[in-house]
Amino acid sequence: MISIYIAVASFIMSVFYFVVLLPLVPLLKIKLQLGQKAVLMYYPFAGLSKIWNDSITKEKDLLKTINQQLIKNPNVVVILSNFLHKPVLIWTGPEYIKDMYLDHTSYVKIDPFMVESVGQKGLVLSEGDRWKRQRKLLGTAFTFEKLTSRLPMINQVIEKVSKDDKKTNLNEFTSRITGEVVIHSFFGELTNGFQIEGKDAQVSIVEILSEIFLLPMNNPFIQLKQMLFEYKSWSIFPTQKEKDLLRRIQNFKQVIQAMIEKRIEQLKNQQLENQDKMVFLDLYVTEYLKQQQDKKQEIDIEEIIHQFITLFFAGTDTTATTSGTCLYYLAEYPEMQNEILKEVIEIVGEQGDIKEEHLNKLVKINALIQEVLRLRNPAFCPIFRTVRQDKQLLDVKMKKGWFTLQYHIGPGLLDKHFENAQQFDYKRWLNKGNVIKNDNGFIHIPFAAGPRNCLGQHMAIMEIKMIIARLVRQYKIQLNPEVKQITFGMKFLYCVEPDNCLIFEERKSG
């Protein structure tokens, strides 16, 4: 009997050490070192997940609990929390954020999907020589000439989706627009009639990727499996939902692969005449065939599939969510909506496409976008990272394997960097002088910064401008009176909810 008691006591002590002491002791050391510059938000086992879930439940805002800590004490540089047994360091101080972005090789990105053969060979998760090669290759697709060549296509997509969509689901509506733009930008004319699972391809892919991402967040068992076993977790006591998702992933990858192989065969026999009209797939296939001819094959079909998935989730959800949040604020502030409508009509006209010469003149729309990205950036932090090796980050020593992230939305919430920082005021960005105070270059960085900043940021801003301009000209955007509570929650990104929060009323011509 005594041996049983000893065994139980040993087990309890082991769990206590693993769940409590292992993450808490190092967090307390940092708290003692930094004093008021650090906020301890430790919760056994749940940690950061509890902070976010409680914030949504109590404050109706995923980030409000953390943001309140920063506003209460503007000198805070780090939030100290945990995830299961590991410390989580959420850096909010601009100098710490700067150091992390500039020294990106000291950290390992955590795959947000944790599914084998879904994006690991793409630009976001690649490292070292592969990342450098991809960045250089894809950079040629984001020149000013290439971006503006897509304007007619983007105009057509916005017009088509606006006409066909019921606009009762904000996230789905904006994702249909941005998803179709990404698909056209990647595959070009091959996308005509492109469907997956009997739906428009962009709708199906958004659904699949969102379900993969949300699966561990909604199921503690799956979350624990992924934490312990990573990619192998899908084969360990898989749930029916996991089996279904793996099947759907395989099906859509087969469709993508067939389109890539078709384009390879086409370009084997004919060269592209107009290089400026090359889509992403043409860029990749041309390089693939060149390497094949030179017998120096670095790119394979699997990498091209991964790159499509990467560009799709990077280019669809962020742009769609930012557009949706801008539309929400237009409904929340009708006077601002009228001012922006006036700008669009004066610059673009009551009808017609948005052209290259219009974009830089839409300064009020740009101001709206910047203010939304300051206060409600959907990508409020980059992908979670772990510390690659023991790392000295300014005055703080981090251990290998700790979780860490740059909370780059944080500095923009503080009065020491913006006047009346808690107030939504898009006109602040229309001022001629310096909008940002005490700026080290890392206060307002909505698309990250450093060597691994967002390659597609200019295309994203261009696309959001066009979406806002065309929709505000065509519809009076209003809050849905049937929705009693607006929440800023999380799907794949930080977003306004519920999906039926807005009403789009057709404007009368003339």
What's the gap between Cα 4 and its chain centre?
A: 50
CB atoms within 10 A of CB 90: 21
The dihedrals phi and psi of 334, each to the nearest 5 degrees, come to -60, -35
pLDDT digits (tens, 9 = 90+) for 406-449: 999 999 999 999 999 999 999 999 988 889 999 999 999 999 99
For residue 135, give both structure tokens.
Answer: 């960045």
Question: Where does the pLDDT of residue 229 fall: very low under 50, low under 70, confident under 90, or very high at 90 and above?
Answer: confident
Angle at Cα 503 formed by Cα 500 and Cα 505, nearest 5°?
155
Question: Where does the pLDDT of residue 240 fall: very low under 50, low under 70, confident under 90, or very high at 90 and above?
Answer: very high
What's the gap between Cα 169 and its chain centre?
A: 19
- Decide which of 409 and 9 is more confident: 409
pLDDT digits (tens, 9 = 90+) for 169-197: 999 999 999 999 999 898 887 777 778 88
CA distance 493 to 376: 10
pLDDT for 74 equals: 96
Angle at Cα 407 formed by Cα 405 and Cα 408, nearest 5°?
125
Q: How far is CA 90 from CA 21, 36, 81, 396, 438, in A?
A: 19, 15, 8, 13, 21
pTM for this predicted structure: 0.93
